[in-house]
Amino acid sequence: MKLTDLDIIVTAPPAPGWGGRYWILVKVTSDSGITGWGECYASSVGPTAMEAVIRDVFGRHMAGENPENIELMFRRAYSAGFTQRPDLTVMGAWAGLEMACWDILGKDRDRPVHALIGGRMNDRIRAYTYLYPQKGHTLPDFWASAEQAAEAAEAMVAKGYTAVKFDPAGPYTIRGGHMPSRHDISLSVAFCRAIREAVGDDADLLFGTHGQFSTGGAIRLGRALEDFDPLWYEEPIPPDNIDEMAKVAAAVRIPVATGERLTTKAEFAAVLKAGAATILQPALGRSGGIWETKKIAAIAEVYNAQMAPHLYAGPVEWAANIQLAASIPNILMAETIETPFHDALIKGTIRVEGGYIPVPDAPGLGIEVDEALARAHPYSGDGLHLQMQEGPIGYHGVNVFAGGAPVKV
């Protein structure tokens, strides 16, 4: 069996747009006519440029190759151009294409992907969700309202979720780490207090940030939140400074989580070695794909660390996250995004039930992609999947984080 054809679909989720401005889906076909799907979580260049990268990686390293030879193709892409070091854009392209290879292999053997990478360790995966506005909530007020966040948390717990994530500490900026304002610290405390009072012991609190703080600022904020016992403190400083993140981890009594912006075992191993985090959050469409992230999970075992795959993308990456999670012993939980478009794009083939994701038995990634629906929502904007604020934060009031990359309604 050989890989022969590649198609790329850049689809834009309709309003409210949770999951980013666009999703890059890849459709790979073998000479035996089997189709595999993947998703590239790469956004440092625009989708048109990314399409060219994906086609180059496929044509240069994968076309005509047996999809079984994952390791060989990875080494080709990882070594391309005399590199042999993490490259976010190339690995983002590779990761989505690699998922498609596993989807093809599973369909060829009539087995789910997890059966091909060590078998089923877990029948269901604990799900967590970001807190999104509920009926009656208004934007942008929701992002700075502890009361509305608590109402959203109650609604998610009523659906069965046992962990909820929120990030009221202000926007991320291109300027690197900053010191939080007192207003942002007070708002963060108010969010934790209101949500903890609303859910009690029924849900863990996942405090999200986006690498926006200086080391001292992250420690200052983290210590203010300790009394509410969050399960994690997510990426408190920019992810490229591992030693400084380790200082935060040592100074704050909340487990540090990181990984959304990291790629390959090289970067994740460095985090673990430095003691910078005990919870890893790889996005499989960026981290190197299923097989590379399986290696990351194995390294994490040595450090007694847990895995919590990240999702701010579409449901194809989610499906890959679930296949990996099914096969590893150190899974903590997996992020989910429940919108009608996410569900329709994979025809309801994976869903959250009572706060858990049942692991699918269907071949490959376990999903059926609605290709026509994906093509019916082409991306026509000029923004990247996610973008950072250019201006500095202010200190005269709350700095509102507007949430992900919502589309204009």
Any idea which residues carry the catalytic annotation? 210, 310
Q: Could you tell me how far CA 207 lies from the centroid of its own chain?
A: 15
Cα distances (angstroms) measured from residue 244 to each of 160, 247, 393:
36, 5, 21
Q: Provide CB contacts within 8 A for 198, sequence distance 6+.
A: 150, 151, 153, 154, 157
**Distances from the Cα of 30 to the Cα of 12, 39, 343, angstroms:** 27, 17, 27
Place of tokens 């478009």: 341
In whole angstroms, give the CA distance from residue 119 to residue 323: 10
Token match 């430095």: residue?
A: 274
Rounded distance, CA 290 to CA 320, Å? Answer: 7
Q: CA 269, CA 85: separation in Å to the nearest integer?
A: 13
What are the b/e assignments for 108-124, b being 16+ CB within 10 Å?
Answer: beebbbbbbbeeeebeb
Q: Which two tokens stand for residue 204?
A: 């863990």
Interatomic CA distance for residues 266 and 403, integer angstroms:
30
